[in-house]
A and B are shown apart, each in its own frame.
Chain A
Amino acid sequence: MSSKVYTTESGEVVYGIVAEFDTPADVYHAAEQVRDAGYSKWDVHTPFPIHGMEDAMGVKRTILPMIIGVVGLTCAGLGFLMQWWMNGVDYQLTVQGKPFATWQAFVPITFELGILFSAFTAIIGMLFFNRLPQWYHPLLKKDRFLRVSDDRFMICIEAGDSNFDPDRTRALLEGAGGKHIDLVEE
């Protein structure tokens, strides 16, 4: 996608450009402007999820819940089959005069296995789509960026975006009220 590689005066490759905001409202409205300017490779970093930020950024709804549902139901079904095969086919255990394969008795474990694998899918899926774990990231090298985990709100537009231009992008963030605008090195 990226047509051009930008470098700083010292020759470092530029990852992107960051701007800092003071309040959720400021960063929310700035995000709307970046969205409307047509950027795609950019992100808003906030200490907590801000209500409605998906809309302000134009992020599509995640398909994660659908995946969790499909995996959960599949695993519940497999769990039922496992019990049916083990007790009903492979090792028929005569106990309490019950039929070998009795679906009613298999309900609790079917349910529990569905929940168990849904939970694994939820967390592993969340990490997978977020490309995590990723213990190295250019942003984490910036001193000011670390304050996002406290009370700062930041927008980062990546140099890899086709719309990126060092001057125009900086001007957009300045116009949106960004402070401490700075380049991030790869």
Chain B
Amino acid sequence: MSSIHPDQVTAQHLAGLSRLPDRGTPAPGTGDGSLIDDPSVRSPLVLNERTFKEVTDIVCGYAENKPGKWWLPALIISGSIATLGGLAILYLVITGIGTWGLNNQVDWAWDITNFVFWIGIGHAGTLISAILCLLKQKWRTAVNRSAEAMTIFAVICAATFPGIHIGRQWMAWFLPPIPNANNIWPNFKSPLLWDVFAISTYGTVSALFWFMGMIPDLATLRDRADMRLRASKSGPTIAPFIPIRVDAVRAYIYGFLSLGWRFSSRHWHRYEAAYLVLAGISTPLVLSVHSIVSFDFATSILPGWHTTIFPPYFVAGAIFGGFAMVLLLLIPARELFPNMKDFITLRHMENMAKIILVTGSMVGFAYTMEFFIAWYSGNEYESHVFKFNRALPTWISDKGAPYWWAYWAMIFCNVLSPQVFWMKKFRTSPTAIFAVSFLVTIGMWFERFVIIVTSLHRAFLPGEWGMFFPTAVDITTFIASCGVFLTLFLIFLKFLPVFAIAELKAVMPQASPHHHHEGHAHGGGDHSKGGHH
């Protein structure tokens, strides 16, 4: 066994030299060097001509080095907010659904709004990991890992809401078809049960996909910890006076999770086949999930819900809101983590801004079509909903919608604000993208509020009309779900490989076996050299 330190660069990094030098200056007019307009030139996916080793060091460094000073306070704040939500839910379970503001008329309100909001957020992660994989969009490698993580955390937040909305939460086990003493089975003809299966399948498949993608990168973290353990007898311990090295814990946990992955090409072959199949089945899955969520509404007879445009409209909206959340998380992250801008370039941001523009315009089209169909169908309930209950402000007419402000907030945030991305200046500016993403996230929450609450609050019988006002428990639970989401994401940023290291390396130019000039000594001529035999 060699006694040379196998990993000098890592040692330097652990000593605090974590920011790698920039190489050269990008050509003028190309931003950070990735905004090349010439279609014959491929824009680089990794900037600053990073080597494989530097990519490993940068990404593993996020999990190995001390996090920035902001990390712990951020975790404490978001963790406290999340805990508050636990208390709000405990209060709800003890007291009953009456602690929320919903009532006999508006019997789905913030809970289901939050559910659809969170489940929609997840869709961008699956779009990036599955659909962009099938379309061979190599830029996805910069964002897929964190977007998939976001998907799983969003599904966790989403699944909570219908779970606590059922009233008698301890009966939640009645949802899956489990044989029980009453000899009854669930009603498979109900869209709500379709939802149970769609969400649980979606959560499970996303987690499997995420975990499988992480196996090689966890093995990299394992090997680095192992190398440091073998290279020196002493190192940082988990706490003062406890002689257990941090690297020993890392080697054990990452080692367990990476399942003994040893980067074998025979393994890679089956791994890639399984990965492609997972991408292939996740593509219809992600389209089905929000379609099925929309069936919760579309299969009812309530005006404003009973419409065939819902499945595509919901899917477009989900991808729209999900990309906004991806950007909302990654724009600060690339500022806060050293060298992250090498992987998440302005070109990546521009691509995502373009997706926001496209999907935002699609939901804008869907909003318009709802009005058109309300008029063209001649259905008086439908036209009443759109003419009076959604858009008409109360200060214009007495018949107007009490929730008009929610409708117009939605239009402003979702349809108007992304239109600035027609201009390159805005879609390549992280500040502008962050601002629009923030508005879109708010707008997409309002979209679900508009669909659910404003449709329900004035149904067929005017005698039943009522209003919905959230209570403190409603508000706390929603804010706490944001806390849970952020807490999980912060933990992810610190302890897991934030980028798909192996995939990033595979899309770098030097990864191709034909990268070196073809006339090299190892070229084709040596092929049949079986002389030793």
Contact = CB atoms under 8 A, between A and B. Distances in A.
Interface of A: 23-33, 36-38, 43-54, 56-57, 59, 62, 64-65, 68, 72, 82-83, 86-87, 90-91, 93, 95-96, 98, 102, 105-106, 108-109, 111-113, 115-116, 118-120, 122-123, 125-127, 129-130, 132-137, 139-140, 142-151, 163, 168-169, 171-172, 175-177
A102 B187 CA distance: 12
A53 B268 contact: yes
Contacts of B266: 43, 57, 59, 130
A149 B277 contact: no
Nearest to A118: B281
B189 A115 contact: no
The 5 A-B pairs at the shortest CB distance, nearest first, are namely: A151-B52, A133-B259, A28-B513, A29-B522, A126-B274
Most chain B CB atoms below 10 A, which of A53, A130, A133:
A130
B227 A143 contact: yes
Contacts of A96: 189
A94 to B, nearest CB: 10
B269 A30 contact: no
Contact of A24 (B186, B510, B529): B510
A108 B292 contact: yes
A23 B6 contact: no
A78 to B, nearest CB: 12
Given A143-B6, A163-B533, A149 B219 contact: yes
A37 B184 contact: no
A146 B506 contact: no
A5 B529 CA distance: 27
Most chain B CB atoms below 10 A, which of A30, A51, A83, A132:
A132
A5 B204 CA distance: 46
A95 B274 contact: no
13 contacts: A25-B516, A31-B265, A43-B265, A47-B502, A47-B505, A51-B506, A53-B268, A72-B281, A122-B208, A122-B212, A132-B261, A150-B7, A150-B223
A39 B295 CA distance: 57
A52 B265 CA distance: 10
Given A43-B265, A82-B177, A119-B209, A37 B510 contact: no
A113 to B, nearest CB: 7
B273 interface: yes
Please report whether the interface of chain A is mostly helix, strand, loop or mixed according to DSSP: helix
A135 B511 contact: no
Given A50-B265, A52-B513, A65-B277, A172 B532 contact: yes
A25 B513 contact: yes
Contacts of B523: 29
Interface stretch (B75-83, B99-107, B190-198, B413-421): B190-198
B188 interface: yes
A77 to B, nearest CB: 15
A98 B189 contact: yes
Interface in B455-482: none
Contacts of A56: 513
A115 B201 contact: yes
B522 A30 contact: yes
A158 B503 CA distance: 28
A24 B48 CA distance: 21
A146 B226 contact: yes
A24 B204 contact: no
A83 B188 contact: yes
Nearest to A85: B185
A25 B208 CA distance: 32
Interface string B267-300: 1111111101110011011001000100100000
B138 to A, nearest CB: 12
Contacts of A119: 204-205, 208-209, 278, 281-282
